[in-house]
Amino acid sequence: MTQRPLDATGSQATVPIDADDRHLIARIQSGDATAFEALFRTYAAELASLAVNYLHARDDAEEIVQTLFVWIWTNRHSFNPQHGVRAYLFGAVRNRSLNALRDAGTAARVMNDLAVAEHRTAAPADAQLEASELHAIVRQAVASMPPRCREVFTLVRTSRLSYTEVAAILGITAKTVEVHMGRALAILRTRLGPHFER
């Protein structure tokens, strides 16, 4: 069986680029600031949320998104995403977020900050305590997932991307995304099961 050739991003999965995206890209390439602003307004908040999932710091996440959009505008004449605008933007934010974590060596600091924040915000009310406990169990379950499985789960559930979009971003097939999601959900069921049996 032959494998489809890789594109310039190393991806095998394809998200067909629709006519609206092609039109928007052409307008941005020609220097249309209104089209660029529309792109920013449409995606900036979602992209910042995705970056927060990786960085756990709103300011850093917003900076990632802003620098991406500055890069797009500066390089607008060559801006030509091959898998659609949405898949391109989410992939770029994912990659920039991972690079920021690697370059700054912030992974340990982020985990420490989360632990401190959890300790400070613990509320005495039973309902809030139970919700906080459940949130911690979910976060631990997600953290225990294999890296690719965790990444797929985050992109699908938190960023609300389709399997095809996630496949394009990660350079895997949609079927592989489905397999990772199955594993992720099995891990969550295993971890959450005892909590609901009480």
CATH 1.10.10.10 domain extents, the chain: 125-198
Fold of 125-198: Arc Repressor Mutant, subunit A (1.10.10)
Mean pLDDT of the chain: 79
Distance of alpha carbon 153 from alpha carbon 131, whole angstroms: 21
Q: Does domain 18-121 have CATH number 1.10.510.10?
A: no
Distance of alpha carbon 177 from alpha carbon 156, whole angstroms: 9
DSSP 33-52: HHHHHHHHHHHHHHHHHHHH
Kindly give the parts of the chain with pLDDT less than 70. Answer: 1-16, 103-131, 195-198
pLDDT for the residue 39 = 94
pLDDT tens digits for 93-135?
999 998 888 765 533 444 455 555 555 555 455 556 566 777 7
Claim: this prediction has a pTM higher than 0.85: no
Q: How many CB atoms lie within 10 A of CB 149?
A: 20
